[in-house]
Every structure is written in C-alpha cells, then in structure tokens.
Amino acid sequence: MEPFTRVSAVAVPIDLPNVDTDRVIPARFLRKDRSVPEYASFLFHDVRFDAAGAERPEFVLNQAPYRGARIVVAAENFGCGSSREAAVWALAAYGVRSVIAPSLGDIFHQNCFKNGLLPVILPGDVVAALRRQLHDRPGATLTVELDGQTVTAPDGARHRFEVDAFRKEMLLSGRDEIGLTLGFEAQIREFEARHAREMAWAVPPRAGT
Amino acid sequence: MFEKIWARHVVAEGPGGHVLLYIDRHLLHEGTTAAFGRLARSGRPVRRSDLCFATADHYVLTSAGSPTADAETRGMVEALGRHTADQRIVYFGVGDPRRGIVHVIGPEQGLTLPGVTLVCGDSHTATHGAFGALAFGIGSSEVEHVLATQTLWQKKPRTMRISVEGGLEPGVNAKDVILAIIAKIGAGGGVGHAIEYAGSTIRAMSMDERMTVCNMSIEAGARTGMVAPDETTFAYLAARPLAPRGDAWGLALAHWKTLPSEPGAPFDREVALAATDIAPTVTWGTSPQDALPITARVPDPAAVGDLGRRESMARALAYMGLSPGTPLSEIVVNRVFIGSCTNSRLDDLRAAARVAKGRRVVVPAWIVPGSGLIKRAAEAEGLDRVFVDAGFEWREAGCSMCVGMNGETAGPGERVASTSNRNFEGRQGKGARTHLMSPAMAAAAAVTGRLTDVRTLTV
C-alpha cells in the first residue's frame, strides 16, 4: 500500500450530502478488474458523463480548474450505502489521496484506510468553509499532513483533525495489515482454544451436500 | 448486549482503542471473489474454511434455471465455485435448492446465531443482527483479512438504542417501522453507532420482520443493528440444519439467555418512536430518509430553510420527475419489484399474496423469493398460484432488481414500486426511479398502477 504522509494538491468541493457509493461507482462496473486502464472513468460515471459518453459540463470534475483534483472536500455522510470497496478504488484510480468531510459512511471510511487514502473528519462549519473557498477560488490547493494531523486551507488557516493512532501508523508506514495480524498468530491460537471451550456450540457442524 | 458480544471476541488490544476481533462466521458471495485471488497471489492460506459459507446471489439471473447474463458474470459465479472447492468451503451454488440471498440463507440454515460475530462483504449484513449476533458489512480488503486471519482490527462503535413501543395499526409492518426510523434519525444518523432495536413493537415481531428492520440499519448509517434474542429467536433456530444440536443446543441456549442488555444498561444515544404514529410509508426521493406516510404529499423544497437541504431535495425531485404538492397516492408506477434481502422471506410473500389474491396486476410485477427453500415453502402454501393468477411473475431466488448487477434492471425513467432497501439514483438501473415500501404496499401498487394506501383495499 502506498504510504500517506503529506499531500498538497488541487481540491474539489462536492456539496451534495449523503453521496452514496452507487453514485461514486455504479453497480454495473463492479465486475470490472480494477487494473483496467479505464477504471478512473468509472468514478461518478453517471453524473460525470451523459448517455453518449460526453462530459456533463455542470459536473464539478469536468470544470477545468478542478480536473485532476487529488483531494475531495465533501458534505455529510459521503460514501454511505453499499460496502463496495470499488468506490475507493475508483477515487484512487483518479488520483484522489484524501477525502475531507463532516462525516463518512462507516464502511467507506474503513475502506479508505486499506487503500492509502486518508479520510479526514472535521466539523461541519469548517468543511463548509473549505468548500466555499474552493468555489470562490477554483483550482485552489489544500495541504493534508498526516503526521501533524492538519489540513491547511487556501486562506492559510490550519485545522487540526483526529485520527486513530492505529490507522495513522498503518498509513504512514504503508504496512500490510494482514502481515501485521499474522504476527498475532500465537494470540489467535490461544483465543481459539479458549473460545472452543467457552462457546463450543459456535462452530457449525459440517453441512451436508 | 453489544458490549457482551464484543468483549467475548477480543483477541488482542491494539493502539488507539483498536482491538483484534475474532470472527465466528464469514459469509461469501460471488461479488467478493476478488479477495480469494489476492490471497492466492500472496501465497496465504484460508485460515478457517469451516467458518466460511458461500452462495451465488448478486450475479445470477432469476429467470428459470438461474443462468447468468454474459461471460463476465458467468466467470464470477464459476470463480466462486472454483475457489470454494479449492478451499473446501461449503457452497450453496446454482442448482442447490438452498441457494439464495446470502442474508436470507444464513439464518435459514441456522448459521446465524445469537452471540456470534458474523461478517460478509455486503453492507446489509446487519440483517443477521435480528438474532442478537454482532453482524456487520465489510469491504473487499477486510474480506481478504478475515479469510487469512479469521479476525479484523476494529474500533468499538458508540451504542444507540431505538425503542418502538405499542401495537402497529393494520396495514403497517416492519418495513414501515424501519422507514419511519430512518426518516426520523436521517441517513447519517447512525454513523459510528451500533444500534439495538428494542421495545414492545420489536418484541412482538416475527424473525422475518426483525430481519427487515435490522437489514436497513446501514440506510440509517449504522454498520450494525441488533435485537435481543428471545423465545421467538430460539423457536426459529430450533432444528435448523446448521444450528447447534443435542448437548450443544442446551449450552448455546444457556449462553443466549445471558445476552440481553441489563435493565438500565447505558447507551450513548436513545431514540424513541410510538408504533401508533407509524403509517404505511413510501419514499419520494433518492435517499431512504426521504420517507413519508402514503397519505402525505410530495414535499416542497421552497418550504425548507436549510440551503443545502433545499438543493438536494430539488435535485431528488428532478431525478424522480415529481412536483411538490402532488399527493403520493396519485403517483403512477410502471413496474413492481417484490424481493431483496429486506423483503423476500415467507412472511413478506404472504403479506403480498393477501393483497394480490383475487386481483390483477396492471403493470409488470416480479416476485423474487429470497431462497430456493422459501420458493418451495411458498409453493407448498399455494402462494405461487395466487401470484401467477394475479399476473405476477414468479421467479427464482437472487438479489435481482434491488441492485441490478445481474443485468435485471429497470429502464431509464421507469418508476418502480420496490420492497428493496435503496432508492439511490441509478440503483435499479440507469435513470430508474425507485419508491421503497413494504410488500403489502408494493402488491397494492401492482394492482392499482399507482402508489396506494393498502388500507384502502379490502384484504
């Protein structure tokens, strides 16, 4: 996984609350392998392109200053709905490294961490002010810095955010989480032995065929 | 209850309040096969194949014989068959009468039990919480992590109790209850929380009804939702094929009875609803929180103070092709879908059949049972005859038009009365318009051709 330390990049404001992961990537693309070269075009596909495949000029990522944005500044509950990790893969394929919002869908939030994207939760008024600045100064850049846990706005204001110590360490190092957990093999075995005594009924009988 | 189950599954403590949580059940479907490929490439084995169970539901067509639409989707179903065979994972595949929607067959087979942790690469996994299991949806990377380690790094969520008290009026059921809850707390109201549904209304519900409620927890933002196990739960589980038997049943039962929260147990947030305030409910917009009683009118964005909310309402109405002030009961539908992990169980089909009996559909209307076994049980009761005589299509089990991944979608602009869980833009097909409602309300819409208060039809 690509580590996350600091990203200074053009940010795009997305004002709509409750942006669901069906909107981020429609279901018909979930069968596609994420290595296909056109994967980034699946991002926001049905609001970004019309039926003929032409760009919809009103969609923010189709406006010149925001093209290629690497930071998304969203509204409440961005990434709600389906658990599809493809929503994060499509953002990553486009080049997005961080999503800033007042709240995020819980599963989307977890999926970000697994793919080197930093989810940043800031108070609603702070995020609204960031979006306003990005509308007023299209193409303005934001800086997201993980070690010091700060977002620096276009106006120079610096906002501190909270991030779990565990997730922070994993992102900074880009470490393989499964590899880390396999290092807990002794504890897992010990747990399984105790669990088998205390909740023996929880292991299902072999299903017949 | 949540705390008790959580504490019993902690393998190790990590930094920042994270714990390594043990997983008792891992359910798989053909949409989660990519994780097997990554695992194989990294040379890691599946740790506990005896705790994994798989079925094909998302990509299988629900026409006779359960085929797939094209080579791509066929490949996904075949890949799941291959991976599960290689790993000796129990697979309820095409042709097996036990095949069905993953959140329907887990309980049906007795895999879903009180007090266990259960995960699946699908956001509607909270369905299993109806049994007092700690069940939540996970992403593809987490699926791979569970396959490799049988654990997940998790941070404890906050807790929320939603209490519903009183008797439901005739024509009002579990779907109306959960839509009313989501409308009250909002699509993001449960973010970061584990919900426990409580109160006399929930206690009086069947397991099928409790599953409908827990299923849509994610539509209120919560990854998990649960109901304390009781005699209704135990009666459902007794003699299920993969539930504990003999001595194990007695041990399990003793454990399950210790699970309910103590009186006075603290919750981070409490929400209360009165059952008598809940009417048959439908959605008018593109978020499940956009729900109103069928007797209401399409709301007017101009009457809303908050600018962001006003704009998103206007956008939703434009997508839905609706004008403010239109009575909901005058909205004409083009199609009806009764199915999905929310509403495809026997109780749901019975409720729809009571409305359909002796009437005729006036628009294309599908019934998609949740599993092959539910289909058989419904046929044994003669429900299929009721539906077929009324002009419904009686189909095979699968996710079908709830998500349309298998190719079964509604057309652009088509308006669907649907018992599924999401009315997002494009959810049931590009440009398709979804109104969420209960099976009885969907059947009523099928026979009148418009959104209809089921209480106005003689049942």
Which tokens in the block code for residue B439?
A: 């099976």
Q: Check residue B308 and give its pLDDT.
A: 84
Question: Per-residue pLDDT for A209 more than 90?
Answer: no
Using pLDDT thresholds of 50, 70 and 90, give the confidence band for residue A110.
Answer: very high
Question: Per-residue pLDDT for B50 more than 50?
Answer: yes
| Interface ipTM | 0.96
Q: Nearest residue of B to residue A85 by CA position?
A: B139
Using pLDDT thresholds of 50, 70 and 90, give the confidence band for residue B458.
Answer: confident
Question: Per-residue pLDDT for A61 more than 50?
Answer: yes
Judge whether B23 and B146 are in contact, CB under 8 Å.
yes
How many angstroms separate the Cα of B310 from the Cα of each of A16, B179, B313, B317? 11, 21, 5, 11
Across the range A100-121, mean pLDDT stands at: 97
Across the range B182-186, mean pLDDT stands at: 98
Q: What is the mean pLDDT of chain B?
A: 97
pTM of the complete model beyond 0.95: yes
**Alpha-carbon gap, residue B60 to B405, rounded angstroms:** 9
Residues of A within 8 A of B11 (CB-CB) are 184, 187-188, 191
Using pLDDT thresholds of 50, 70 and 90, give the confidence band for residue A59.
Answer: very high
Interface test with B, best of A50, A78, A110, A171 (most B CBs within 10 A): A110
What is the DSSP code (8-state) at residue B328? G
For B197-256, write each residue's pLDDT tens digit: 999 999 999 999 999 999 999 999 999 999 999 999 999 999 899 999 999 999 999 999
Residues of A within 8 A of B423 (CB-CB) are none
Q: B248 touching A, CB under 8 A?
A: yes
Distance from CA of B456 to the nearest CA of A (A): 33
Q: CB B139 to CB A165 under 8 A?
A: no
For B367-408, write each residue's pLDDT tens digit: 999 999 999 999 999 999 999 999 999 999 999 999 999 999
Q: What is the mean pLDDT of chain A?
A: 96
Residues of B within 8 A of A17 (CB-CB) are 188, 308-309, 312
Q: CB B16 to CB A168 under 8 A?
A: yes
Amino acid letter at A165?
Answer: A
Q: Check residue A207 and give its pLDDT.
A: 56
Using pLDDT thresholds of 50, 70 and 90, give the confidence band for residue A181.
Answer: very high
CATH class of B2-256: alpha beta
In terms of DSSP bridges, do strands A141-145 and A150-152 run parallel, antiparallel, or are they unpaired? antiparallel
**Which residue's entry shows tokens 């299991």?**
B133
Nearest by CB to residue A22, choosing from B11, B110, B426, is B426
Q: Check residue B306 and give its pLDDT.
A: 87
Instruction: Give the residue from A121, A26, A23, A81 showing the smallest Cα distance to B223.
Output: A81
Q: CB B145 to CB A110 under 8 A?
A: no
Greater pLDDT, A206 or B173: B173
Q: Check residue B15 and give its pLDDT.
A: 85
Residue ranges of alpha helices (H) inside B100-173 are 102-109, 140-149
Q: CB A195 to CB B22 under 8 A?
A: yes
Q: CB A188 to CB B149 under 8 A?
A: yes
Q: Check residue A149 and give its pLDDT.
A: 98
Q: CB B16 to CB A17 under 8 A?
A: no
Residues of A within 8 A of B16 (CB-CB) are 164-168
Across the range B343-352, mean pLDDT stands at: 98
User: Could you confirm whether domain B282-456 is CATH 3.30.499.10?
Assistant: yes
How many angstroms separate the Cα of A146 from the Cα of each of A82, A112, A175? 27, 14, 15
Question: Per-residue pLDDT for A208 more than 50?
Answer: no
Judge whether B325 and A29 are in contact, CB under 8 Å.
no
**Is the fold of B2-256 the same as that of B282-456?**
yes
Residues of B within 8 A of A114 (CB-CB) are 139, 141-142
Q: Check residue B307 and give its pLDDT.
A: 85
Nearest by CB to residue B188, choosing from A46, A77, A167, is A77
Indicate the domain borders of chain B.
Answer: 2-256, 282-456
Interface test with B, best of A1, A2, A18, A35 (most B CBs within 10 A): A18
CATH of A6-175, one of 3.30.590.20, 3.20.19.10, 1.20.1250.20, 1.10.357.10: 3.20.19.10
Judge whether A4 and A116 are in contact, CB under 8 Å.
yes
